[in-house]
Chains A and B, each alone.
Chain A
């Protein structure tokens, strides 16, 4: 049996899956105390369950996200070395940020050694500020991590935790590397305390199987291992919804997944069962990061959004949410009231909902039913327009080879999959607004918990081989090996695969042959003057977000 849990803004969903089928589902109100919420949700779903049969459990929590958004991060010190380019002072983060002397170039060659005196001085000032966690970042450290390793070696023993830039991602982006490293350092203590408390609760309940947290890329990571990478567990909600869609529907063709909630509608695109990922990483509060994430877009429009009727016969819906729908005791008309008025939803106070619709349509001279009909049409139109812009932006992304320009591969959704509370009520309207087949899966109300439960462990590596420098480097795995002049793409792929699988196993993967996708593969002959001096190989590969083999789609 597998347990899945998703902490949402208002409700925490839990599911139990047995033999590939959902056997129990529950909703518990989310409160400000996350651990108490988790405890209550577990207690509700586990009533009468033989916990010894639970082989696996996965959680999508809001712990890291809330800590970032509510500014409850621990103080973390930063030691940064840059060299020429943008002023590293511009990326200052945290209460104790220090730029030290040292420079690497884009190939990873050392231009200027790291200043030991600067690093020691910075560390003592950070410790003087009573800060016990540290982040060290160098520009181009993903091409050569030696400066980061050196700094950690010199001063790391004085700190309870050191986060290093080259370990957070192999991608080039110095400002994002600084901020991602900082988040991993500043979340370390909070995440560790949370994880310890969660383990304690699980032990109390007799849950001893493997435990996973969901990441924003739709993959999972072992709870204990996540302590090294706490920022990777932030903002997993939208990923839970997409993985739920994948689990319940399969998402053949080009599927636009819409998760309609109370305040927002989250959108994503799944291509033949594989969700689209962002090119660089997710934004967390004010921080642009290198944390791999599914490509999602959030529109400020949901079932509880405020409806404003204008005199000219137009309806404004969202992004404001005044509270619960009028039919449920709230202050303002909402799309949910429209659903109640039309009899699509058998809940709440029908007369209050009708009154709210009448009020919204009064300026234009419509009755309650006419208004309700128009509200749902308008809601679907707004969603369709926003989705159109989302897809347009995906298609407008730059490409860098003639091949890609000529191929001009564009994303055009062939169907819409609706998730979330009102999916069944608005499917008809949405299908019409998009002009596409629109469907919603069974269990769509608890899809997020299902998504978390059955998502596989994912990981990613970036490989760069430079035969002139005589080295191959995979920063995420902390690997740098010597290579000879004949090192080629075939060997690079084999090495990448081996290290990717090893890395994934290290964070909890137990699949024998997970699906791997190569997202970047380039080889360049390096020439000086007119002589060939080496070969430059670049490879990026990752385990594709997907479902664990234990899940069998139950339709």
Chain B
């Protein structure tokens, strides 16, 4: 019998009875062939690979993270709750010490879901990683967490939720936003006033291959993690950087994903995108599971690897090396220009957000209290073309007294305002209210 060098948990939830729509990439059989490959390889018979049964998340798990408009029931389906709940099962398995790491191979994905949720963006409604982070902060007292998002699309939802949180390091490696949805994720996006440098975006050019990704991991991601010293590392394990993926332009491979995982050694990996359901996902997922279990992955490759994989052109290598050099200067050598942020001041920003799947236009106006003691009280006024005009007040889990008071005052004031709904997300007291 084979033994895993590292005990690894697997939460597999293919949701064989759920699709966004009949011909949508996020449909029933997305993980069918992955299941076939995982079963045929006999991975679940390996001593040290433990499969867990999913459980649905509850609304409270969602409320720690999101302002759902008008409420949780309206923007989630059972599949979203089960997918998020599957990630919680993975987190429990790791934090109870049953396994060293765990992979939540669940759908639907979540990393495009922002703090305010009016509907579906980029196939996502609920941010699974954020649901995990806030759960383990409450349940296990975890503080510093790093999210490394290796999906081909910028993890704009996760970035939004942790934009102001200095205790969460968010790193996204993705195809350059000038060439792909959602069009964001540039190095200048480096975190809010209280968390400058805690968001790191690494946009890679189309055609980046195995060597480019692994170079970024070795030269940039690993040093950033070493410096930040997180208690937990979560990998948003999208699989659409693959050379067979139909909706992206990258050149990554199953063995590349396995190598990336073996270096990153995430505590929890969560599946995100990846829509080459027949000729990439089965092999990538087998590679990731084996890498997490500390097994030799040298025999894992796509059937068409030898004929279709192309290593990246030399000009791409030069471009990436040059960019990594600049990012090292900014984020590791301390050359990031920080915006002035005097304690007690309020900083504001406005932006437009588009929900591609549900065709919703949202306009946000955000106010953050600059604070040296805590991540700062945050309020978001949000208006959608569906007639919603809401105010959400977020009091972070480590909020100082002043920020707690500020948040409470905003909420009280909001209640008297002309909003359709006003939300309080008081992470200190664990109070989640909606008018």
Once the chains bind, are A401 and B15 in contact (CB under 8 Å)?
A: yes
- Is B12 engaged at the interface, CB distance under 8 Å to the other chain? yes
What's the Cα separation between A403 and B278 when bound, in Å? Answer: 25
Kindly name the residue among A111, A173, A174, A176 whose own CB sees the greatest number of chain B CB atoms within 10 A. A173
In this complex, what residue of A is CB-closest to B16?
A: A401
Once the chains bind, are A90 and B302 in contact (CB under 8 Å)?
A: no
**What 0/1 readout, one digit per residue, does chain B (250-270) give for beta carbons within 8 Å of chain A?**
000000000000000000000
**What 0/1 readout, one digit per residue, does chain B (4-25) give for beta carbons within 8 Å of chain A?**
0000000111111110001100
What's the Cα separation between A106 and B55 when bound, in Å? Answer: 29
- Is A522 engaged at the interface, CB distance under 8 Å to the other chain? yes
Q: A106-B37, A402-B78 are in contact. Are A176 and B53 (CB under 8 A)?
A: no
**What 0/1 readout, one digit per residue, does chain A (168-184) give for beta carbons within 8 Å of chain B?**
00011111100000000
Contacts of A405 in B (CB 8 A): 54-56, 78, 82
What's the Cα separation between A527 and B27 when bound, in Å? Answer: 10
Query: Closest approach, in angstroms, between the C-beta of A146 and any C-beta of chain B?
Result: 16
Query: Closest approach, in angstroms, between the C-beta of A89 and any C-beta of chain B?
Result: 9
In this complex, what residue of A is CB-closest to B83?
A: A402
In this complex, what residue of B is CB-closest to A403?
A: B17
Contacts of B41 in A (CB 8 A): 85-86, 174-175
- Is A62 engaged at the interface, CB distance under 8 Å to the other chain? no
* Contact with B40, one of A112, A173, A531, A536 (Cβ below 8 angstroms): A173
Once the chains bind, are A86 and B16 in contact (CB under 8 Å)?
A: no
Once the chains bind, are A288 and B16 in contact (CB under 8 Å)?
A: no
CB contacts between A and B, total, < 8 Å:
115
In this complex, what residue of B is CB-closest to A88?
A: B299
What's the Cα separation between A172 and B302 when bound, in Å? Answer: 19
Query: Closest approach, in angstroms, between the C-beta of A91 and any C-beta of chain B?
Result: 8
Q: A396-B53, A405-B78, A522-B16 are in contact. Are A86 and B45 (CB under 8 A)?
A: no
Once the chains bind, are B246 and A288 in contact (CB under 8 Å)?
A: no
Which residues of chain B (295-310) have a CB below 8 Å from chain A? 295-296, 298-303, 305
Contacts of B27 in A (CB 8 A): 527
Number of B positions contacting A (CB below 8 A): 50
What's the Cα separation between A268 and B200 when bound, in Å? Answer: 55
Once the chains bind, are A174 and B17 in contact (CB under 8 Å)?
A: no
Once the chains bind, are A86 and B42 in contact (CB under 8 Å)?
A: yes
What's the Cα separation between A87 and B296 when bound, in Å? Answer: 9
Once the chains bind, are B13 and A400 in contact (CB under 8 Å)?
A: yes
- Is B79 engaged at the interface, CB distance under 8 Å to the other chain? yes
Q: A84-B300, A86-B41, A174-B41 are in contact. Are A288 and B1 (CB under 8 A)?
A: yes
In this complex, what residue of B is CB-closest to A405?
A: B82
Contacts of A399 in B (CB 8 A): 53-54
- Is A347 engaged at the interface, CB distance under 8 Å to the other chain? no
Q: A84-B303, A402-B78, A402-B79 are in contact. Are A527 and B32 (CB under 8 A)?
A: no
Query: Closest approach, in angstroms, between the C-beta of A249 and any C-beta of chain B?
Result: 31
Interface segment among B93-101, B207-215, B231-239, B282-290: the answer is B282-290
Once the chains bind, are B17 and A401 in contact (CB under 8 Å)?
A: yes
- Is A139 engaged at the interface, CB distance under 8 Å to the other chain? yes
What's the Cα separation between A403 and B2 when bound, in Å? Answer: 33
Query: Closest approach, in angstroms, between the C-beta of A532 and any C-beta of chain B?
Result: 7
Once the chains bind, are A140 and B40 in contact (CB under 8 Å)?
A: yes
Once the chains bind, are B45 and A175 in contact (CB under 8 Å)?
A: yes
What's the Cα separation between A532 and B19 when bound, in Å? Answer: 15
In this complex, what residue of B is CB-closest to A142?
A: B40
* Contact with A84, one of B13, B52, B302 (Cβ below 8 angstroms): B302
- Is A105 engaged at the interface, CB distance under 8 Å to the other chain? yes
Contacts of B78 in A (CB 8 A): 402, 405-406
Which residues of chain A (102-154) have a CB below 8 Å from chain B? 103, 105-107, 111-112, 139-140
Once the chains bind, are B42 and A176 in contact (CB under 8 Å)?
A: yes
- Is B189 engaged at the interface, CB distance under 8 Å to the other chain? no
- Is A486 engaged at the interface, CB distance under 8 Å to the other chain? no
Q: A402-B78, A532-B23 are in contact. Are A172 and B40 (CB under 8 A)?
A: yes
- Is B61 engaged at the interface, CB distance under 8 Å to the other chain? no
Once the chains bind, are B286 and A85 in contact (CB under 8 Å)?
A: yes
In this complex, what residue of A is CB-closest to B246?
A: A529
Residues of chain B having any CB pair with chain A under 8 Å: 1-2, 11-18, 22-23, 27-29, 32-33, 35-37, 39-43, 45, 51-56, 78-79, 82, 246, 278, 282-283, 286, 290, 295-296, 298-303, 305
Residues of chain A having any CB pair with chain B under 8 Å: 83-87, 90, 103, 105-107, 111-112, 139-140, 171-176, 286, 288, 396-403, 405-406, 522, 524-527, 529-532, 536
